[in-house]
């Protein structure tokens, strides 16, 4: 499984979130913006982000990718708001701000679904955008001219739809010509298929919920790990949870349970970071983890409010990852569309 996120870990507390969630957008501008011409992007309030979610809900299942990206963010907002622990933090690597075209009206959100999301990381922030516009020139201008993207911080571009890729390349030729992209395929699992999945844990193993105590072990195997990526995992475990398989221990053994494999949901609302330790491969554990996590996710969605309506399980898989593509296809996932993700940089 593949997700590209790079950056330095800055942690945001619940108090920081509550203050930020009430920004009008004007207050959120960079200090330097006041001395420049008006920025082509404006910051969105949480209620405006909700309008984006409803826009993309109407196009399901074809719009699952942007829908779940937005839905995941809004669920995080609610979860943080309900947290009673003031020390509870979220890494800037996953926390993002949403913007839309500054000159646009309400229709830009409700009908065209135009947004740009930028993570708060100081180094290598991630830029994600979607739109249903046919004319991409206003969005191209915004990406080129906005002060919210600091090109000196080496931003990454993730989940770029193929239809939008030529526009992005024209921007990057001037701003970041060094960025290279990988091809990824977006898969979805129809809910009717997910509902009939049967999970059977192999003998000698047991399921375990992932939490922050597992972040170091999970991070150690990630080929894209970087300074601060352990906190990236801590944030995902706090916000989305995760599932692991461990070897079953004898009662009273007292030894720490080492993980045999794991899976979680990332900041895109997709199954991700599926990994099996080398000593436990060729035993069908990857299939077990996918089925188990899908089953739990579906149960959670059906217990929740109307915001979950139309949701399905999704995954982004690198085209070069033939093993995962074969596994997910065998389990009933349907290929939907292609996207491109910029490679990790070494700067």
Q: Where are the domains of the chain?
A: 11-183, 189-342
Classify domain 11-183 at the CATH class level: alpha beta
Q: What are the tens digits of pLDDT across the range 56-94?
A: 999 999 999 999 999 999 999 999 988 866 567 889 999
Q: Is 4 a residue whose pLDDT tops 50? A: no
Q: What are the tens digits of pLDDT across the range 199-234?
A: 999 999 999 999 999 999 999 998 888 888 899 999
Q: Is 310 a residue whose pLDDT tops 90? A: no
- Greatest CA separation found in the chain? 68
pTM (2 d.p.): 0.88
Q: Is 5 a residue whose pLDDT tops 50? A: no
Residue 287: CB atoms within 10 A of its CB come to 16
Closest by Cα among 1, 5, 6, 341 to 182: 341
Residue 306: CB atoms within 10 A of its CB come to 7
Closest by Cα among 69, 65, 1 to 324: 1
Q: What is the pLDDT of residue 235?
A: 94
Q: What is the DSSP-derived secondary structure letter of residue 343?
A: P
Mean pLDDT confidence for 263-288: 96
Mean pLDDT confidence for 281-299: 95
Strands ordered across the beta sheet of 41-43: 41-43, 96-101, 115-119, 126-130, 156-157
Q: What is the DSSP-derived secondary structure letter of residue 62?
A: T
Q: Which two tokens stand for residue 339?
A: 């996207």
Mean pLDDT confidence for 328-347: 88
- Cα–Cα distance for residue pair 340/284, rounded to 1 Å: 29
Mean pLDDT confidence for 99-119: 97
| Domain covering 189-342 assigned CATH 3.40.630.30 in the classification | yes
Let me know if the fold of 11-183 is the same as that of 189-342: yes
Helical ranges in 176-284 per DSSP H: 191-195, 215-220, 229-239
Q: 118 - beta bridge partners?
A: 97, 127
Q: Which residue has the higher pLDDT, 5 or 274?
A: 274
Query: Residue 132 in contact with residue 46, Cβ under 8 Å?
Result: no
Residue 175: partners with Cβ closer than 8 Å, 6 or more residues away: 144, 151
Mean pLDDT confidence for 167-181: 97
pLDDT band per the 50, 70, 90 thresholds, residue 29: very low
């Amino acid at each position: 499984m593949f997700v590209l996120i790079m950056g330095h870990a800055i942690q945001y507390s619940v108090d920081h979130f509550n203050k930020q969630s009430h920004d009008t957008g004007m207050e959120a501008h960079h200090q330097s913006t006041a001395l420049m011409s008006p920025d082509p992007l404006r910051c969105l309030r949480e209620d405006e982000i909700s309008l984006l979610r409803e826009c993309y809900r109407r196009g399901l299942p074809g719009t699952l990718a942007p829908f779940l990206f937005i839905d995941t963010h809004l669920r995080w907002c609610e979860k943080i708001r309900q947290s009673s622990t003031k020390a509870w933090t979220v890494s800037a690597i996953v926390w993002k701000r949403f913007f839309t075209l500054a000159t646009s009206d309400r229709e830009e959100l409700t009908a065209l679904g135009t947004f740009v999301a930028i993570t708060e990381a100081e180094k290598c922030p991630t830029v994600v955008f979607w739109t249903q516009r046919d004319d991409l020139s206003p969005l191209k201008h915004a990406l080129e001219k906005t002060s919210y993207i600091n090109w000196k911080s080496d931003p990454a571009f993730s989940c770029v739809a193929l239809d939008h890729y030529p526009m992005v390349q024209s921007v990057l030729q001037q701003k970041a010509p060094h960025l290279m992209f990988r091809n990824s395929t977006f898969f979805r699992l129809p809910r009717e298929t997910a509902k009939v999945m049967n999970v059977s844990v192999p003998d000698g193993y047991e399921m375990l919920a992932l939490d922050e105590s597992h972040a170091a072990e999970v991070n150690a195997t990630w080929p894209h790990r970087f300074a601060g990526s352990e906190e990236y995992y801590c944030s995902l475990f706090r916000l989305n949870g995760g599932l692991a398989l461990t070897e079953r221990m004898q009662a009273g053994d007292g030894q720490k349970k080492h993980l045999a494999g794991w899976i979680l949901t990332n900041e895109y609302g997709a199954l991700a970071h599926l990994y099996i330790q080398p000593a436990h491969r060729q035993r069908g554990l990857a299939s077990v983890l996918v089925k188990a996590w899908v089953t739990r996710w579906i149960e959670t969605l059906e217990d929740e409010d109307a915001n979950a309506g139309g949701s399905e399980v999704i995954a982004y898989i690198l085209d070069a990852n033939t093993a995962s593509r074969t596994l997910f296809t065998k389990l009933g996932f349907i290929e939907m569309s292609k996207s491109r993700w910029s490679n990790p940089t070494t700067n």
